[in-house]
Amino acid sequence: MRLHSEKILLNILIGLCTFVAGVNAQKLPSGPQVLTFFSDADDTEQPYGLYLPENFDENRKYPLVIMLHGAGSNHRLALRRVFGKSNAEGETDVEATRSFPKWDNVDFIVASPYARGTAGYQGVPEQDVYDVLDDVKKCFKIDENRIYLTGLSMGGGGTLWIGLTRPDIWAAIAPVCPAPPAGTFDLAPNAQNFPVHFFHGDADPVVPVAGTQKWVAELQGMGVEVSYKEFVDVKHDSWVSAYDNEFIFEWFGHAERNPYPDRVRFVSKQYKYNKAFWVVFDRFPYGKVADIEAKFAKENSLDITTKNLEKFTLNLKGHPKFKPGAALNIKIDGSTVNAKTDSSITLFRESSGKWQVEAATIMSVYTGKKQGAEGPIFAAFSSRHVYVYGTADNPSLEELKKRVEIATQAANWSQYRGEFLGRMMFFPRVLSDKEVRPSDIESSNLILFGTKETNALIAKHAARLPLHLKSSDATHGLFYVFPLDGHYVAVSSGLPWWAGAADQGFPFVPVMHRKLAEFKDIIFFKDSSSNLLIDSYFKDNWTLTDETKNKLSGSGVVDITP
């Protein structure tokens, strides 16, 4: 009985402690502040700016604005800028970073990712933006239909890239003097899914206004809900005028995402970005822009046109114009398909060009390019990865030092680039082939240096890897990406991929990484990476094209795996 009473008393005390802890738990204050999230890309805490409105109610859903900073800036300055707070007279960015001034309240949560600093918004920095979005949604109640994206200069370009690659997330986007990465303009049709507001100064010497004018004209021609404010005699700092008086929150406040639109227009060049609302791309000719326009004409009646698309899925569950189990009429590319489904339906194009419904019982194994296994080379560097040098041939101390230096140089994303650009805050690991753990293989892409004779991991997978540079060759470089067991390996044999590369262009990233985003699946060069003999893709089934195979075979220094 006594033991029973003690247990009851203990439970009461535990309950009281829990209650008191809950009552006294520290809560985030209203206003601007800095939080962090844990990044799986390099096992670091990464910061982001956060604004919570006055009288914040944790039980209420709030609209969210994601703000992307420009080059030479950071998350703290970005949070100031979006609220229209420029530097004080004579104040430098370094000085302005140290404090948040008082500003008028808005009824939005605002988050501004650091995204590694000045690094663009593709690859790991792009993932950081989504990690911040996920972290904010985990911590606070966010209205999923009122999430907005804006940014300035480099961040304006990031706004276009991130907004257009995943257009079903955002209710509206607002790029300011945008400098988008190459290939973004191909995605312009995706802007038909939300309103867009551009800002630019007509005297901008850094990002010419003609680029934004081209965007606006193109989108207007597509019927996009686009607006544009061009500031007279304003140079690159057009964000001062664009965000003045917290205008952007007023403009965003009128836009709301419809999670079940009657019409979806979607284009994509990568399986990484294969979804918009209720449409998913399953297969398309890699390297081409796949295109679909799908719309409900009436209940259970769809009109669809496609281009460069071989297979796609419609996830219709929850759509107000879809009646589960009833006949579904699909007019697609001039023909008609009829079917029934309770939620989703997959259509594929036959060799004759005719569209058919894929039977649910078909369990075919597709081994071609797909999400997470499509390349190009940069994909191996765009998420968690480790750099691995070889020791399998028991190299001399001098040779080992050279191998360590090459792998370390490749991993040095954070080298100092001067006061304006600072460092890119990304810190991947460098390991020998003997130090790589099973957990690394299970969780990481592997950047492998050497050949099957020098690197134990290349040797382990030699029969599955398609290409091998002969270890005796000292004048060529072979670099390619290949999917293995759910992750990528990028094999760099011979001269490293940056050998002989000129340190030219605006150095967002060090010279070792400047061309990574431009490479296809395979590069092969002699003496210098500026002398490319091959820069090509694997075919959709991850085999070599005849042209690439012939060139590599004729080189006399590359073995092709049968």
Q: State the CATH number of the domain containing residue 84.
A: 3.40.50.1820
Do residues 467 and 418 both lie within one domain? yes
Tell me whether residue 88 is in a domain: yes
Q: Which of 229, 252, 275 marks a domain boundary?
A: 252
Q: pLDDT (tens digit, 9 = 90+) per residue, 69-106?
A: 999 999 999 999 999 999 988 999 999 999 999 999 99
Do residues 284 and 390 both lie within one domain? no
pLDDT for the residue 363: 52
Tell me whether residue 223 is in a domain: yes
* Strand 327-332, strand 301-307: pairing: parallel
Q: pLDDT (tens digit, 9 = 90+) per residue, 322-352?
A: 999 999 999 999 999 999 999 999 999 998 8
| Cα 187 to chain centroid, rounded | 14
Tell me whether residue 180 is in a domain: yes
Tell me whether residue 6 is in a domain: no
Tell me whether residue 258 is in a domain: no
pLDDT for the residue 15: 46
Do residues 332 and 392 both lie within one domain? no
Plot region of 379 (φ>0 → left; ψ -120 to 50 → alpha; else → beta): alpha
Do residues 474 and 542 both lie within one domain? yes
pLDDT for the residue 80: 97
pLDDT for the residue 405: 98
Do residues 93 and 224 both lie within one domain? yes
pLDDT for the residue 364: 59
Do residues 381 and 318 both lie within one domain? no
Mapping DSSP to helix (H, G, I), strand (E, B) and coil, where does residue 132 land? helix
Number of structural domains (the chain) is 3
Cβ–Cβ < 8 Å for 533, 555 = yes
**Dihedrals phi, psi of 491, to nearest 5 degrees:** -105, 120
Cβ–Cβ < 8 Å for 198, 212 = yes
200 membership: H or E segment, kind and range:
strand 196-201
Do residues 42 and 171 both lie within one domain? yes
Tell me whether residue 541 is in a domain: yes
Among residues 516, 483, 517, which one has the least CA distance to residue 497?
A: 516
Identify how many contiguous H helices and E strands the chain contains and give both numbers: 12, 27
Span 371-393, average pLDDT: 97
Do residues 198 and 228 both lie within one domain? yes
| Structure token digits, residue 561 | 């795996």
Cβ–Cβ < 8 Å for 357, 330 = no
- Tally the C-alpha atoms within 13 A of residue 357's C-alpha that lie toward its C-beta: 16
Length of the chain: 562
Q: How many other CB atoms are there within 10 angstroms of residue 156's CB atom?
A: 30
Q: pLDDT (tens digit, 9 = 90+) per residue, 46-56?
A: 999 999 999 99
What is the DSSP code (8-state) at residue 357?
A: E
Rounded to whole angstroms, how far apart are CA atoms 131 and 346?
30
Span 385-407, average pLDDT: 98
Q: Which of 252, 281, 300 marks a domain boundary?
A: 252
Cβ–Cβ < 8 Å for 265, 190 = yes
Range of the domain at 80: 31-252
pTM: 0.92
Residue 19 pLDDT more than 70? no
73 contact partners, CB below 8 Å, separation of at least 6: 81, 93, 118, 155
Tell me whether residue 314 is in a domain: yes
Rounded to whole angstroms, how far apart are CA atoms 94 and 77?
9
Do residues 78 and 209 both lie within one domain? yes
Q: pLDDT (tens digit, 9 = 90+) per residue, 431-454?
A: 999 999 999 999 999 999 999 999
Q: pLDDT (tens digit, 9 = 90+) per residue, 204-231?
A: 999 999 999 999 999 999 999 999 999 9
491 contact partners, CB below 8 Å, separation of at least 6: 448, 458, 465, 467, 478, 479, 480, 482
Q: Which of 326, 357, 388 marks a domain boundary?
A: 357
Q: pLDDT (tens digit, 9 = 90+) per residue, 360-375?
A: 655 556 778 999 999 9
Residue 425 pLDDT more than 50? yes
Do residues 240 and 93 both lie within one domain? yes
8 confidence band (pLDDT: 50, 70, 90): very low
Do residues 396 and 344 both lie within one domain? no
pLDDT for the residue 27: 85
pLDDT for the residue 294: 98
Tell me whether residue 363 is in a domain: no
Do residues 554 and 428 both lie within one domain? yes
pLDDT for the residue 362: 57
